[in-house]
Amino acid sequence: AQSVTQLDSQVPVFEEAPVELRCNYSSSVSVYLFWYVQYPNQGLQLLLKYLSGSTLVKGINGFEAEFNKSQTSFHLRKPSVHISDTAEYFCAGDTGRRALTFGSGTRLQVQP
Amino acid sequence: KAGVTQTPRYLIKTRGQQVTLSCSPISGHRSVSWYQQTPGQGLQFLFEYFSETQRNKGNFPGRFSGRQFSNSRSEMNVSTLELGDSALYLCASSSLGPGSVDTEAFFGQGTRLTVV
């Protein structure tokens, strides 16, 4: 079975500082990985996805993630955060069954 | 292009009742998935439909069921509601069929169900 682990439940950071949200996955089969963002009282919005190919994936709003097979990680990064990035971020995996397995989420709190 | 529409947005039901939630996918999308989001269990996959057929099912009791119509609209039904069924139920639609993940799953805003 596949599992996705987000190592930090909350990450406080000051505005314009860099941030990294950590995600590790475990799977015995090929995996597709995603990062989603959820704003209060909203659904999920896709930030970026890794399907194959280049291990560095660029997404929307200046976010990027690096797929590391040896460390089974898919950490999300942004070089400079804004207040508007305050939200909950979810890492998710899919083994091709179109059934996403989500991590427990990381609440990013950007402080002025 | 309209997004994924879920109705109703909020719902309050009593234990033992049943409830039906509706999801209208983006026009042209044939795959609809349902997820349950709770503070304790997080986001969990319920089931996925494609062309009126349930393709995948998560680990939920039989009280949770769904269906998809020929216009790709989907409904989810929960019978004999329990307090623990209180959650945000999210629907997602995508354009490609099973076996292909090279597409984005677009999520609706969800239906918040409260069981009292």
pLDDT tens digits, residue range B47-94?
999 999 998 899 999 999 999 999 999 999 999 999 999 999 999 998
From the candidates B43, B55, B91, B96, which should be mutated to test the interface with A, based on the most A CB atoms within 10 A?
Answer: B43
Q: What percent of chain A stands above pLDDT 90? A: 70
The nearest alpha carbon in chain A to B4 belongs to A43
Residue B8, preceding bond cis, omega within 30 degrees? yes
The nearest alpha carbon in chain B to A104 belongs to B42
Q: Is the pLDDT of residue A84 over 70?
A: yes
Question: Please, which pLDDT band fits residue B97 given cuts at 50, 70 and 90?
Answer: low
Taking alpha carbons only, the member of A81, A65, A80 closest to residue A6 is A65
- The closest CB to that of B42, out of A43, A99, A102, belongs to A102
Taking alpha carbons only, the member of A15, A3, A85, A89 closest to residue A48 is A89
Enumerate the residues of chain B whose CB falls inside 8 A of the CB of residue A41: 109
What is chain B's mean pLDDT, rounded? 92
Contacts for A67 with CB less than 8 Å, ≥ 6 apart? A33, A50, A55, A56, A57, A73, A74
Q: Is the pLDDT of residue B98 over 80?
A: no
Question: Please, which pLDDT band fits residue A30 given cuts at 50, 70 and 90?
Answer: low
Tokens of A45: 């919005």
pLDDT at A29: 55
CB contact, 8 Å: B28 with chain A?
no
SS3 for chain A, per residue?
CCEEEECCCEEEEECCCCEEECEEEECCCCCEEEEEEECCCCCEEEEEEECCCCCEEECHHHCEEEEECCCCEEEEEECCCCHHHCEEEEEEEECCCCCCEECCCEEEEEEC
CB contact, 8 Å: A30 with chain B?
no
Q: Is the pLDDT of residue B1 over 80?
A: no
* For range B98-113, the mean pLDDT: 80
Torsion of CA A26, B108, B45, A62, to 10 degrees: 0
- The closest CB to that of A43, out of B33, B42, B90, belongs to B90
Nearest-Cα distance to chain B for A67, in Å, is: 16
Tracing tokens 């209180």 back to the chain, one arrives at: B86
Tracing tokens 């971020």 back to the chain, one arrives at: A89
Q: How far apart are CA B57 and CA B41, in angstroms?
A: 17
pLDDT at B100: 60
Please report the sign of the dihedral spanned by the C-alpha atoms of residue B84, residue A101, residue B109, residue B71. negative
Q: Is B52 helix (H, G, I), strand (E, B) or coil?
A: coil
Q: Is the pLDDT of residue A97 over 80?
A: no
pLDDT at B103: 66
Enumerate the residues of chain B whose CB falls inside 8 A of the CB of residue A46: 104-106
Enumerate the residues of chain A whose CB falls inside 8 A of the CB of residue B58: 99
CB contact, 8 Å: B105 with chain A?
yes
Beta carbons of A27 and A17 less than 8 angstroms apart: no
CB contact, 8 Å: B45 with chain A?
yes
Q: What percent of chain B stands above pLDDT 90? A: 80
Q: How far apart are CA A91 and CA A100, in angstroms?
A: 10
pLDDT at A41: 82
* For range A98-108, the mean pLDDT: 91
CB contact, 8 Å: A60 with chain B?
no
CB contact, 8 Å: B58 with chain A?
yes
Q: What percent of chain B stands above pLDDT 70? A: 92
Q: Is the pLDDT of residue B35 over 90?
A: yes
Q: Is the pLDDT of residue A111 over 80?
A: yes
B58–A104 CB contact, under 8 Å: no
pLDDT at A28: 58
